[in-house]
């Protein structure tokens, strides 16, 4: 397991180095979101931090960022499956695109459930406490169920129809504890760093805020690739147990 955890960070780092333009796509969107936050006074003080959380333009750009991370899911998975190949990462494979669209639809569904649930609940007049409870439950379900789909997502990006949604769950059940640990553990320090940088920027001089946010944008870009690398490592283990390949023959 420790070798697999190491491979997650190494693979994500190699993607960032060998596919810099692809890597910078979500980084640029994240930086745009930070620019909106700074304009809204989000990092002036703690009150500004809380008040700007619901800024509509900020939330719209947040959705664009998630879409950019969906694209990273395609690019980075192909990069890793095809032996750290930058050409494979940026190749538009019609079969892979067709297979990956349901993966993106699945991610979009959970984006709406998790990110938009409070807005939907407020519009429907549902109490904030109940909406918060539903949000937490939805987030936990998403985090614990997602490792079962690692093989499906990775194989889809590689253009392999042999591992679908249901088969991915069946193949992964036997190593589910491993899949959960490998999927979640690498993200924890990066998530902590992401939120720590936001709090670190509060009250700082404008130049320092921009520098911290630039660092955070790079961190978010790397975190997005790490998430894909965890799926790849789990999928690699699943494929080895099933004596099959992740790429299309």
pLDDT in tens, 76-135: 999 999 999 999 999 999 999 999 999 999 888 877 777 666 666 655 665 556 656 666
Lowest-confidence region among 101-110, 112-121, 141-150, 152-161: 112-121
Whether the CB-CB separation of 30 and 221 falls below 8 Å is answered with yes
Which three-class secondary structure state does DSSP give residue 120?
Answer: helix
Q: How confident is the model at residue 41 (pLDDT cuts 50, 70, 90)?
A: confident
Pair of tokens at residue 77: 């998975």
Report helix, strand or coil for 31.
helix
**Domain range list for the chain:** 2-241
Could you tell me which of 73, 243, 107, 233 has the C-alpha nearest to residue 163?
243
**Is 147 in contact with 234 (CB distance < 8 Å)?**
yes
CB 81 within 8 A of CB 247: yes
């Amino acid at each position: 397991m420790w070798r697999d955890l190491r491979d997650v960070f190494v693979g994500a780092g190699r993607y960032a180095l060998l596919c810099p333009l692809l890597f910078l796509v979500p980084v640029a969107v994240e930086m745009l979101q930070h620019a909106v936050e700074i304009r809204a006074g989000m990092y002036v003080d703690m009150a500004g931090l809380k008040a700007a959380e619901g800024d509509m333009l900020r939330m719209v750009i947040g959705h664009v960022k998630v879409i950019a991370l969906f694209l990273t899911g395609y690019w980075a998975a192909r990069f890793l499956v095809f032996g750290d190949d930058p050409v494979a990462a940026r190749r538009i494979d019609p079969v892979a695109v067709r297979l990956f669209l349901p993966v993106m639809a699945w991610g979009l569904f959970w984006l709406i459930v998790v990110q938009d649930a409070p807005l939907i609940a407020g519009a429907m007049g549902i109490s904030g406490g109940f909406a918060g409870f539903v949000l937490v439950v939805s987030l936990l379900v998403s985090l614990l169920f997602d490792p079962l789909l690692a093989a499906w997502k990775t194989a889809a990006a590689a253009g392999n129809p042999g591992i679908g949604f249901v088969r991915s769950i069946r193949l992964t059940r036997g190593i589910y504890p491993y899949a959960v640990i490998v999927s979640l553990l690498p993200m924890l320090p990066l998530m902590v760093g992401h939120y720590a940088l936001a709090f670190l920027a509060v009250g700082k001089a404008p130049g320092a805020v921009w520098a911290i946010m630039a660092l955070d944008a790079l961190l978010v870009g790397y975190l997005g690739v790490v998430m894909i690398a965890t799926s790849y490592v789990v999928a690699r283990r699943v494929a080895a147990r099933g004596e099959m390949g992740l790429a299309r023959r």
